[in-house]
Structure 1
């Protein structure tokens, strides 16, 4: 919540004209001239997905009232309108799976997203039961991506996921974590090619994944999803009251959120980054990182120096 309020304050600080500029990047009704979000390829199949998606931790864990769900309905509707696709959830995220399933079904756009969720329990049968429950909650007969959450009992679940993939219940197998300490184990799994997609933490301030994990994924044809791109709001706190460097405009960066996200997606190994939000203005801002020019290697160095100088 603190991160949400801080982000809102920063957008308000841009003034009405600046906020309008962000929203006007995407017309209310799609046209032939509307920009297309940057697409990245999943090596296992060649399928392309947008380089910026949506996370649901905390933001989508809400009740059933209209007051709680309407902002999320607006986020999902706008995301679909703008060409967004990847939505990541987990049983760990409270009611997120149910809310996503309910809202996308009500909007009749359930089959127009790339749904990713996770198995987060120990034991084979417990995993099967939980994954079946996820299918039910998200109102799907098949999920695009099932991931083993935080490496929990991963060897047991990996066997089940291989069976499910063969049976057509899931399209891709993944594994996740959110701490630097897990990167070495994730890298071992990536190198074994046991999964199609790996998800982990990476940001402009937390760059441990650059040591070897990102390159290992690229070299072994494993797609990469990135979590914690804003470090739970810590990056916004670090730049509060600060102006973007003038050269950022050369890379079509219009906000600090896009500064942070474009640093991530400019790495060739990254397939998609999944910042969470329940605010449609923030969604528009985030997806804007999937438009325009990306930082080159020199610009990425300048971006890091900018953050280190704060």
Structure 2
């Protein structure tokens, strides 16, 4: 498939946090370097800025980021600010709060509820904004999200946040949060080769309730933050060959086929990969291809 003229619009749209966004957005994690929020080789700042600007030109209007996305010399939020401010009115910037890293990049314990305001204010400062469109509470193994989500709900009432969301949660956490304030999106790890029954149930619940479901590592699969998946099953390769597409594009297309409420946020600091990712939104898989790919998931761990 050719990808030069394909824009983000090819994937369709979804209403999220009061804005109509293309179903393929952009994840900012890899803007900071090859090892993302681990201390790897810093990215080329000018190229990362150019990739972001090109993404906007190609119709991307949903960016996912976090203050804890930084490497030795790069901050994703700073790059976003430098590339895109003043921000387009139709651009949705979503951030995650909860995890904590010190200035050396070492992970600390999860933020206490009373520390979340500081996390929100740090994202505001780095992005150069007076409010955040959408804030995800990233659960860090807490049994309950009520106290943390309640703290964010208070910041929403104060006007610092417009919409609330959850990340890395089970169905019970979604219900717990909804009893406190509206949840407009859920972001869980979800990939063709990485099945999880709790996440499958969250995906289903989100579809029933009109909540966006935003997978992370949809392309990376089991390799997670390290890199895009470098191993592809024969079925993935066969479908890719039939469409003249790459295995990564097939993975993204399969993700989008899981429901109209499913969004994708592939990230890259490579302009060629950006174009390839967006082109996946135009890839239409047949029912038979979806069946073959779905069979790869097998039993959950």
Q: Please tell me the TM-score bracket, short chain as reference.
A: 0.7 to 0.9
Deviations 1:123-172 (A, max 9, x none): 34321112111111011112211111235763233223223333433221
Larger fraction in helix:
1
Q: 1:117 aligns with which of 84, 87, 95?
A: 95
1:226, CA displacement in angstroms?
0.8
Q: Which residue of 1 aligns with 2:106?
A: none
Deviations 1:26-54 (A, max 9, x none): 4xxxxxxx783323323775x42111111
Aligned pairs (5 A) from 1:163-202: 163-177=154-168, 182-189=169-176, 192=179, 194-202=182-190
Change (3 A) 1:67 1:52: closer
Change (3 A) 1:49 1:157: same
In 1, the alpha carbon distance for the partners of 2:125 and 2:273 equals 29
Please list every run of 5 or more consecutive structure 2 residues that lacks an aligned counterpart in the other structure: 99-109
Aligned pairs (5 A) from 1:210-229: 211-229=200-218
Change (3 A) 1:129 1:187: closer
**TM-score normalised according to structure 1 size:** 0.74
Aligned pairs (5 A) from 1:96-107: 96-105=76-85
Q: Does the aligned pair in 2 maintain the 1:122–1:152 contact within 8 Å?
A: no
Residue 74 in 1 paired to residue 47 in 2?
no
Q: 1:91 aligns with which of 67, 90, 105?
A: 67
Deviations 1:157-204 (A, max 9, x none): 322322333343322101112xxxx53444544775742111001111
Q: Which residue of 2 aligns with 1:257?
A: 248
Alignment RMSD (CA, Å): 3.3
Number of residue equivalences:
269
Q: Which residue of 2 aligns with 1:5?
A: none
In 2, the alpha carbon distance for the partners of 1:139 and 1:215 equals 36
Please list every run of 5 or more consecutive structure 1 residues that lacks an aligned counterpart in the other structure: 1-17, 27-33
Q: Does the aligned pair in 2 maintain the 1:175–1:199 contact within 8 Å?
A: yes
Change (3 A) 1:253 1:266: farther
1:296, CA displacement in angstroms?
4.8
Change (3 A) 1:269 1:160: farther
In 1, the alpha carbon distance for the partners of 2:17 and 2:277 equals 26
